[in-house]
Amino acid sequence: MTELPIFEPVFAGYIDLRGHQTWSKEWVNNGEPALLLHGGLSATEDWDSHILPSVASDHHVFAYDRTAHGRTGVREGFYHFDFQRDEAIAYIEDVIKGPAHLLGYSDGGIISLLVAIARPDLVKSLVLIGTNYNYDCGLPFNQITELTASEGDRAEFAERSPDPAHVQDEILARALQVWRSEPTMTKGDLNTIECPVLVLTGDDEPFSNHHTVDLYEALPNGRLAMIPGASHYAIKDQTDIATILIKDFFAHPEFPLTRDPNLRTRPVTERS
CA 101 → CA 236, 245, 266, 271, distances in Å? 21, 15, 27, 26
pLDDT at position 263: 83
Measured CA to CA, the distance from residue 69 to residue 79 in angstroms comes to 9
Q: 265, 258 in Cβ contact below 8 A?
A: no
CA 74 → CA 161, 174, 188, distances in Å? 9, 11, 33
CA 108 → CA 27, 42, 96, distances in Å? 19, 10, 17
Does the model's pTM come out above 0.75?
yes
How does residue 157 score in pLDDT terms, banded at 50, 70 and 90? very high
Task: Provide the β-strand partners of residue 33.
Answer: 60
pLDDT at position 268: 67
Give Rg (Cα) of the chain.
Answer: 18
How does residue 142 score in pLDDT terms, banded at 50, 70 and 90? confident
pLDDT at position 267: 64
Given a cut of 90, whether residue 49 has pLDDT beyond it is: yes
% of the chain beyond a pLDDT of 70 = 97
Given a cut of 90, whether residue 211 has pLDDT beyond it is: yes
Cβ neighbours of residue 128 under 8 Å, at least 6 residues apart? 104, 109, 112, 113, 197, 198, 199, 200, 215
> Of 68, 117, 129, nearest to 89 (Cα)?
117
The tens digit of pLDDT for each residue in 183-199 reads 999 999 999 999 999 99
pLDDT at position 272: 55
Measured CA to CA, the distance from residue 240 to residue 244 in angstroms comes to 6
pLDDT at position 140: 86
Q: 200, 242 in Cβ contact below 8 A?
A: yes
The tens digit of pLDDT for each residue in 7-29 reads 999 999 999 999 999 999 999 99
Given a cut of 60, whether residue 1 has pLDDT beyond it is: no
CATH class (in words) of the domain with range 11-255: alpha beta
The tens digit of pLDDT for each residue in 109-122 reads 999 999 999 999 99
Q: What is the DSSP track for 30-86?
A: -SEEEEEE--TT--GGGTHHHHGGGTTTTEEEEEEPPTTBTTB---TTTTSHHHHHH
The arithmetic mean of pLDDT across residues 191-208, rounded, is 97
Q: In whole numbers, what is the pLDDT of the chain averaged over residues?
A: 95
Higher pLDDT, 268 or 245: 245
% of the chain beyond a pLDDT of 90 = 89
Given a cut of 90, whether residue 229 has pLDDT beyond it is: yes
pLDDT at position 141: 85
CA 245 → CA 80, 211, 249, 269, distances in Å? 31, 21, 6, 27
Pairing of strands 20-29, 32-37: unpaired
pLDDT at position 234: 96
Pairing of strands 197-204, 222-231: parallel
Domain coordinates of the chain in residue numbers?
A: 11-255
pLDDT at position 271: 64
Given a cut of 90, whether residue 70 has pLDDT beyond it is: yes
